[in-house]
Each structure stands twice: as structure tokens, then as C-alpha cells.
Chain A
């Protein structure tokens, strides 16, 4: 008796489901047909229309064939964690031109209100060996395509965007500093105390009430107990401006651009990225680690300047000027 009961119930459910499925499919089909019919009837008598095909030729079609489509909303909406669509930002640093003028660092410190002891952008005095020539090497965040920092972050506070940027959500960061230990380029800095960024904090707090996202605005304001680093200035890129270090450099050392467009510019000249890298033997730092940085270096060859000139402004123990 019991078995029979459950059996019949199962059958009923089974049939019901099948029926429901058929109805649903039918309904979808009907609406499709209806919409097509609608399109035809509403614009039946408007005549011919000129359109351009994907290969650039103009064709004429009957306007009744043309149907209005809704624009995909996703493309219009900008997601901080996704980045700018169809871009891939890269930087090229020409070591042959760097004289350690440090204007890049000053500009970066100023624009990002850096109050700690460790600048985001550093110019290293490099000498691989006593037998090889010394040179100046500016470093930013490498915005790696295989970022070690992102892999180890336990809370997804630091993330990689489709446009190549590696950013930090300092509203989520728990301050474990695992990303700092993971980064082979020692690029990450920590807010050991209250950052005290003055006016910017107030300004950003006001903006906060609207639709501010700290990851987007250069991680500003900095937050005590969280990690900061070079962000490739997304706030500037968005306005079609170059990052501050690029514009500040008097020697045109930094080139910034889009890998998909295959162009980079230092503000004065715009070059083909692939050709530049091929011609001048571009390389990346610690390629052997497999981090795939987005920052390329051109070797310090045929230098027009003496290395020693830069020594005047070299400070071994300081990278951030603080008001006394």
C-alpha cells in the first residue's frame, strides 16, 4: 500500500516536471517568434538602410531586417576588481637614460601622500659585481601577470585585474604581511602607524560618502595596519593621463602604455612596444622566478651621462622627504 502510494506520487511528479519543462520551452519559443513579428510589423515600410560591415564596406539592407538590440549593461559598468576593459597596461624603464634625478620619486610621494619611511618608487644604485658597471635602476610595482603576492593573500585583499594592474583593497586587508614576504621585488610597504595624510584623509572621507573605493583611488587614504604599494595610478589612467612618475621624469626614462595597442609613451615620444623591446634588448627583473612582470627594462647601455652625476642626490637611508 505504502509503496503504491509513493510510486504514484513519483509518477505524478515526473509527469508534472515534464509538462512544466515543455510549457517553459514553448513559452520561450513563442515570445521569440512574437518579438520577431513585432520587429517586422513596426518597421515594415521604412525602406532601405546603409550599414557598415566589419571589414569596412558599406552595404544596403532592408530596414525591416534590422532589429533594435539592448546594449549589454556589463560593458558599461566599471568594476574596480575587473579593471578597464580591453586594456593591458605596461611600463618600460630605460636604464640608459636614468641619472637618478629622483623627480619621479618626489612626484610619486607627493601625489600618493606617502608619510611612511619607504617610498613606493625607489631608484636603486645597482652594481651586480665589482667587475661590472654601476647604473641607476628605478623600480615600481612590477604588476606581475603571475603575482606571488596575490597567490598568497588569504582574503583576496590584493587582486589582479584584467587590465594588468595589481591593486590592494585596504578596507579588506588583515595586515598579515604575507604578500610582502612573497614579493621578490620588496615593493610592498606597510602602514606601521596611523598614516596621518592630513587633508587627503578628510577629502577622501567626504568622497567616501558617495561612491569612493580605496582600491581605485590609489589606495588612498592609507589605513593603519594594512599594506600599500605602487598602483600604476589608475586614477590618472582613467582620465587618459600618464602616471605621475612618467610625467615628472626630466629624462624621459619611463614609458607607459597599452600592450594590446603595442604602444608606449614617455610623454614626448610614442614608440611601438614590441619594436622597442626587440631593438633595445628589453628584459624583465628576475625573469627566472616566473612572475611575468608588466614592467620592462632597457639595459643601461650607451649612456650619455656619467653614473657619478647621480650620486649627488643618492640617499642611502631615505626615500621619503618629510616636513621637519
Chain B
């Protein structure tokens, strides 16, 4: 039991410091501003956005796709690493699970912001029709949300049990909550076996669910005729892109938590090194699908495809496009190929770059395509030939990003970032191995 004391002291959730309080308050302020902007949008209608009958989807949809993509970290970093028995994953899985939960919750919320009639949300259930890809989304998003929540929750049970005991005398109130959430965890063999089985099932379940979620998200676009979306490549393209966004976010958040909570003993250079290699792999896969998506249509050069791709390569969207490809994918790959590049700080910067690139990438998938319909844009105001989000759209979007960070912050405040029980078990095993070797 002595073993646990140090671990608990190190890993039990800590109160916010001064910086933490300022951070949380800033997030809340941004969210409140976003909510006010959204209420204004509901009252006035979506005329407050810069969307129009051509650019009929904008930053709300691309932001939604970004959240969906980021939630893939739960699938790739937890389940895939678990099934491939990569044991280095222990200290970072909880962070990945937390990001996944925050992202999928925000995905569900952001898609509603885009609705012209949020008051008719229930129509999706009353009049829902199976052939619409939106109905598929309505089914898969809550499913993914539940599975992600369980994937976060089940492994937490022993830790909640430990925290219940840890806080028993110090903070009886807090301890009570941990006891309730630990479902009376005692650590008996029967409980352990049920818990292990449950985790195993959920970890396997999240793989098809995650793949379906990303694919359906891609199908929202590829089931339409538009140039740039009408592509058989899109499902795989979205899955690989989601892996990039997810791992990028994981790297960035892990670094911040390591520094803020001084977890250098648990989250070490080794973990960043491994994550860096993983990020290189997913970036390369995504680059491969990008080649398929852009170069092949350019080679056959059908009229519509050439127009679309020229806008991206050399036209209005070229700076953004090359930032995403070079800054968001190629530079990370080059930097992370070097051992020095996989140290925590450079990894953090690369992680931020990858996340920013991933966010703008979704913007580039949604917007330029809509501005090049089959019939020419005529007889509508000149502004309708371009799209850039309005102040309302930015405030609301920033609000949603802040909300996802707030969810992460709150979870981190009450949930041990590094799994305590699992770390203890692994340390014990390590000791045991040492002893037997001697």
C-alpha cells in the first residue's frame, strides 16, 4: 500500500493554481461571448453569418468536421495501441480518452449551430429517413459519444476507488463523490475481471465505431455531386486525416499537462519520442491520400476539377492550402524524423502546427468546393462569390473551441491524468521481473 502513497500524492487531481483559475475564467468568458453571439444568430437568423446560397456551409461545418476528426484520437491512441500491445501508452491513454470525449461532445453541439431551425431538432427523430447521410450521423454521433464516455469511465473505476480512500479524511465531500462514481470499487478479483472484460469489449467496439464515424462524416460530402467532394477516396482520406488531427491534439495537450502538473516522472521523453514516430506515420499516410485527392484529378484535368484545384494550388486559397500541406504535414514529418525533433518542446510546437493545419484543412474541404458549382454564379450579390466567416461565426466558433478546452480542463481537474492503479500495477510487475532476474 505504501507504493500508492507516492503515486497518489503525485497523480491525484490537484486544485487549480493561479494560472489555472485565469485560464478557466478566460475560457468561460469566451464561451459566454460565443453563446451571446449564437442567441443573436437564433433571433436574427443566419443572416448574421457570411454564408449565402452558394457558400451554404461555412466555418460551422468545417469546425464540426474538425471536432469529429479530433475525437478519432480515442480510437487510434487507445484502442489501436492497446490491441497492438504497445505498453508505453499507459500514461497518455487517459489524456487521449479525455480529448476524445471533449471532441465528440463538441461535434454533437457544433452541428446544431449550423441548423437553420434548431427548434425543429426533434424532426430528425420524428420524421428521420434512413437514406439521408445526416440520419447516419444522427445515429453514429451519440453512439460514438457513449462508447467514448465508457472508454474513459471503465478504466477510471479503480482510480476513483483509490481516490475515495485517499480523500476520506482530508475531504469527505469529495471522497463521497469519488465513491459514488467508483461504483463501490473494492478491487476484488470478481470486480477486476468484469472491469477488464468491459474495457476489452469497449476497446474493440470503438474501432468500428470510430471508423464509421469518420467515414460517415466523409460521406456527408462524397454522396453529393460537387467537384472536390464527389470522390471515392474520401472515406479513407478522412480517416487518415482524423488520425493526424487526433495525434496532433494529443501531443499538444500532453505537453501542457506534463508541464502544468509536473508529471515529468511519468510522461517522459520516451513517450514523446513514440508519439512523434506515430505522428510521422499518420502524416505520411494522410499525405498519400492527399496525393490521390489532388494530383490524379489534376492529371486527367477535367474542366471542373482543374478549376477547383487551381483555386487551391495557385488561386485565392493557395496560401492557406500550402500552409496546410507544408506546415501541417511536410514540416512535421521532416522535423519529427530527427531525434532532437521528438523532444517535448519541439513536439509541442509541431503538435500545435498540426492542429492548426488540421483545422484549416477542414475549411479548405468545405468552402472552395461550394464556390464552384456546375452552373456559373450569376444574378446574386457580388459578395456571394467569396466566403470568409463573419464576426458572429468567429465568436461562436471560438466559443466552441473554448468549450472543448473547458471540458478537458474540468475533466483534468477531477480525474487523475495518469492512471494510478495501472501505473502501480506496472511498477509492481517491473519489480517482480527484477527480482526474478536476480
Interface residues of A (CB under 8 A from B): 116-119, 122-126, 139, 148, 151-157, 172-178, 180-182, 184-186, 188-194, 224-227, 286, 289, 315-319
Interface centre among A126, A156, A194, A319 (most CB of B within 10 A): A156
Known: A175-B117, A317-B381. A184 touches B127 (CB 8 A): no
By the criterion CB–CB under 8 Å, are B123 and A174 in contact?
A: yes
Is chain B's interface secondary structure helix, strand, loop, or mixed overall? loop
Smallest CB–CB gap between B46 and chain A, Å?
5
Chain A residues with CB under 8 Å of B45's CB are 191-194, 224-225
By the criterion CB–CB under 8 Å, are B380 and A154 in contact?
A: no
By the criterion CB–CB under 8 Å, are A118 and B116 in contact?
A: no
- Among A151, A190, A316, contact of B56 (Cβ-Cβ < 8 Å): A190
By the criterion CB–CB under 8 Å, are B123 and A155 in contact?
A: yes
Q: Does B418 have its Cβ within 8 Å of any Cβ on chain A?
A: no
Question: Which B353-410 residues have C-beta < 8 A from chain A?
Answer: 370, 373-382, 384
Smallest CB–CB gap between A304 and chain B, Å?
24
By the criterion CB–CB under 8 Å, are A316 and B379 in contact?
A: yes
Q: Does B296 have its Cβ within 8 Å of any Cβ on chain A?
A: no
Q: Which residue of B lies closest to A189 (CB)?
A: B53
A182-B370 Cα distance, complex, nearest whole Å: 11
Chain B residues with CB under 8 Å of A315's CB are 379
By the criterion CB–CB under 8 Å, are B370 and A181 in contact?
A: yes
- Among B123, B132, B378, B381, contact of A117 (Cβ-Cβ < 8 Å): B381
By the criterion CB–CB under 8 Å, are B131 and A173 in contact?
A: no
Chain A residues with CB under 8 Å of B121's CB are 174
Chain A residues with CB under 8 Å of B117's CB are 173-175, 225-226
Chain A residues with CB under 8 Å of B124's CB are 154-155, 174
Q: Which residue of B lies closest to A173 (CB)?
A: B117
Chain A residues with CB under 8 Å of B52's CB are 117, 192
Known: A156-B127, A156-B129. A289 touches B225 (CB 8 A): yes
Q: Which residue of A lies closest to B126 (CB)?
A: A155
By the criterion CB–CB under 8 Å, are B129 and A178 in contact?
A: no
By the criterion CB–CB under 8 Å, are A155 and B224 in contact?
A: no
By the criterion CB–CB under 8 Å, are B57 and A188 in contact?
A: no
By the criterion CB–CB under 8 Å, are A177 and B378 in contact?
A: no
Q: Does B184 have its Cβ within 8 Å of any Cβ on chain A?
A: no
Q: Which residue of A lies closest to B377 (CB)?
A: A186
For the A-B complex with A118-B380, A126-B376 known, give 15 more contacts whose Cβ atoms are closer than 8 Å: A139-B375, A154-B128, A154-B129, A154-B132, A155-B123, A157-B123, A172-B120, A176-B115, A177-B56, A177-B114, A177-B116, A178-B132, A186-B53, A190-B116, A225-B115
Smallest CB–CB gap between B258 and chain A, Å?
41
Interface centre among B124, B126, B380 (most CB of A within 10 A): B380
A318-B383 Cα distance, complex, nearest whole Å: 11
Q: Which residue of B lies closest to A129 (CB)?
A: B303
Known: A118-B53, A152-B134, A186-B54. A225 touches B116 (CB 8 A): yes
A125-B46 Cα distance, complex, nearest whole Å: 30
A214-B219 Cα distance, complex, nearest whole Å: 32
Smallest CB–CB gap between B363 and chain A, Å?
16
Chain A residues with CB under 8 Å of B131's CB are 151-152
- Among A176, A189, A317, contact of B134 (Cβ-Cβ < 8 Å): A176
A145-B120 Cα distance, complex, nearest whole Å: 28
A-B residue pair count with CB separations less than 8 angstroms: 148
Known: A181-B224, A186-B54, A319-B379. A172 touches B116 (CB 8 A): no
- Among A118, A157, A173, A192, contact of B51 (Cβ-Cβ < 8 Å): A192
By the criterion CB–CB under 8 Å, are A176 and B114 in contact?
A: yes
A116-B56 Cα distance, complex, nearest whole Å: 14
Chain A residues with CB under 8 Å of B53's CB are 116-118, 180, 186, 188-190
A226-B123 Cα distance, complex, nearest whole Å: 13
Listed by A's residue number, 16 A-B pairs whose Cβ atoms lie within 8 Å are A117-B380, A118-B380, A124-B378, A125-B378, A126-B376, A139-B375, A157-B123, A172-B120, A176-B115, A181-B224, A186-B373, A194-B45, A224-B45, A225-B45, A225-B46, A318-B380
By the criterion CB–CB under 8 Å, are A286 and B132 in contact?
A: no
Chain B residues with CB under 8 Å of A194's CB are 45
A178-B220 Cα distance, complex, nearest whole Å: 9
Smallest CB–CB gap between B171 and chain A, Å?
46
Interface residues as binary, B112-150 with A (CB distance below 8 Å gives 1, 0 otherwise): 001111001101101111011111001000000000000
Q: Does B334 have its Cβ within 8 Å of any Cβ on chain A?
A: no
Known: A176-B116, A180-B56, A181-B370. A153 touches B379 (CB 8 A): no
By the criterion CB–CB under 8 Å, are B374 and A186 in contact?
A: yes
A319-B324 Cα distance, complex, nearest whole Å: 37
Q: Does B226 have its Cβ within 8 Å of any Cβ on chain A?
A: yes
Chain B residues with CB under 8 Å of A191's CB are 45, 116
Chain A residues with CB under 8 Å of B376's CB are 124-126
Q: Which residue of A lies closest to B132 (CB)?
A: A154
By the criterion CB–CB under 8 Å, are B379 and A119 in contact?
A: yes
By the criterion CB–CB under 8 Å, are A175 and B225 in contact?
A: no
Q: Which residue of B lies closest to A317 (CB)?
A: B382
- Among B132, B375, B381, contact of A151 (Cβ-Cβ < 8 Å): B132
Smallest CB–CB gap between A101 and chain B, Å?
15
A105-B55 Cα distance, complex, nearest whole Å: 23
A196-B365 Cα distance, complex, nearest whole Å: 34
Q: Does B85 have its Cβ within 8 Å of any Cβ on chain A?
A: no
Q: Does B47 have its Cβ within 8 Å of any Cβ on chain A?
A: yes
Known: A181-B57, A181-B370, A182-B225. A319 touches B380 (CB 8 A): yes
Q: Which residue of B lies closest to A175 (CB)?
A: B116
Interface centre among A123, A148, A156, A186 (most CB of B within 10 A): A186
